[in-house]
């Protein structure tokens, strides 16, 4: 099922990073979704993981990973741990991953999923306001945000190393564009990669909680 997902959903849509493709092939996505959805773990869509949150569509996970251009030596901030799958993919591509989740129950699920699959050796899951990042762990070589923000959080740009790259959905509550923010020699450059739909980034520099 993973091989079919990689071929039909990722390669055919233009994902080319061999390391990202390999990570998506090897990491058991079914271990990061609720038991009742295991038979749909590789479907081309997000799935509910409880608490009003979702596990990101496989293609979007792969696109974000590719846009980060990770080589294996980086320290990465993962905002929006969810069930831990995105952190697992980043952990296969980077040296260290600090993952932050605002919902305590989901943070606990992410830790358990990563522990059970043996993918937690270089990943730390914290609970807190991801829109504020994790300043005590900064700077980060790369930052990935798996929730839509009304704007690029200033705190995340501040915590981005130089050079560094930040990838996050920016826009409304129900539709965003995937924005790539690069910091190089003290300058910031941005570009938009694709249209996307993520759950809202709730926090002090994101959306207010409903």
The domain that contains 18 carries what CATH number?
3.40.50.150
pLDDT of residue 97: 98
Residue 193 has a pLDDT of 94
Distance CA 166, CA 179 (A): 8
The answer to whether position 142 is within a domain reads yes
Strand boundaries in 6-115, DSSP class E = 47-50, 53-55, 75-79, 96-101
Is 210 among the domain residues? no
Residue 116 has pLDDT above 70, yes or no: yes
Band (pLDDT 50/70/90 cuts) for residue 209 is confident
Question: Could you report the per-residue pLDDT of 80-89, keeping only the tens digit for each?
Answer: 999 999 999 9
Instruction: Let me know if residue 208 belongs to a domain.
Output: no
pLDDT at 197 over 70: yes
14, pLDDT greater than 90: yes
Task: Determine, yes or no, domain membership for 122.
Answer: yes
* The pLDDT value given to residue 111: 98
Q: How many domains does the chain have?
A: 1
pLDDT digits (tens, 9 = 90+) for 30-65: 999 999 999 999 999 999 999 999 999 999 999 999
The pLDDT assigned to 121 comes to 97
* Segments forming the whole domain that contains residue 143: 2-196
State residue 192's pLDDT score.
Answer: 97
Within-domain flag for 205: no
Q: Would you say residue 210 has pLDDT above 80?
A: no
Closest by Cα among 121, 108, 135, 111 to 204: 135
Q: How confident is the model at residue 1 (pLDDT cuts 50, 70, 90)?
A: confident
How far is 38 from 17, CA to CA, in rounded Å? 26
Alpha helices in 53-153 (DSSP H): 58-68, 85-93, 104-116
Q: Which two structure tokens, joined as six digits, stand for 150?
A: 């009304």
139's torsion region: left (phi>0), alpha (psi -120 to 50) or beta? beta
Q: Which helix (H) or strand (E) holds 158?
A: helix 154-159
Does residue 19 fall inside a structural domain? yes
pLDDT value of residue 8: 96
Q: Is the pLDDT of residue 16 over 90?
A: yes
Q: What is the mean pLDDT of residues 97-111?
A: 98
Arithmetic mean of pLDDT over the chain = 96
Cα gap 30→88, rounded to integer Å: 13
Q: Which two tokens stand for residue 89?
A: 């993919």
In this prediction the pTM is 0.96
Please report which confidence band the pLDDT of residue 122 belongs to, taking 50, 70 and 90 as the band edges. Answer: very high
Confidence of residue 26 (pLDDT cuts 50, 70, 90): very high
The answer to whether 208 and 202 are in contact (CB under 8 A) is: yes
């Amino acid at each position: 099922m993973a091989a079919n997902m990689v071929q039909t959903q990722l390669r055919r849509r233009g994902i080319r990073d061999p390391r990202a493709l390999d990570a998506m092939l090897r990491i058991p996505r079914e271990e990061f979704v609720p038991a009742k959805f295991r038979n749909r773990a590789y479907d081309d869509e997000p799935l509910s993981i409880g608490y009003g949150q979702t596990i990101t569509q496989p293609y979007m996970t792969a696109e974000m990973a590719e846009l980060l251009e990770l080589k294996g030596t980086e320290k990465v901030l993962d905002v929006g741990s969810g069930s831990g799958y995105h952190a697992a993919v980043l952990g296969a591509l980077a040296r260290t991953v600090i993952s932050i989740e605002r919902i305590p129950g989901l943070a606990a699920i992410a830790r358990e999923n990563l522990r059970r699959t043996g993918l937690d050796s270089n990943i730390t899951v914290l609970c807190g306001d991801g829109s504020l990042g994790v300043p005590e762990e900064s700077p980060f070589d790369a930052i990935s945000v798996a929730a839509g923000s009304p704007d690029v959080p200033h705190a995340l740009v501040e915590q981005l190393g130089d050079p560094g790259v930040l990838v996050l959905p920016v826009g409304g509550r129900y539709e965003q564009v995937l924005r790539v923010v690069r910091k190089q020699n003290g300058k910031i450059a941005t570009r938009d990669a694709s249209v996307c739909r993520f759950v809202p980034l709730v926090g002090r520099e994101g959306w207010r909680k409903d």
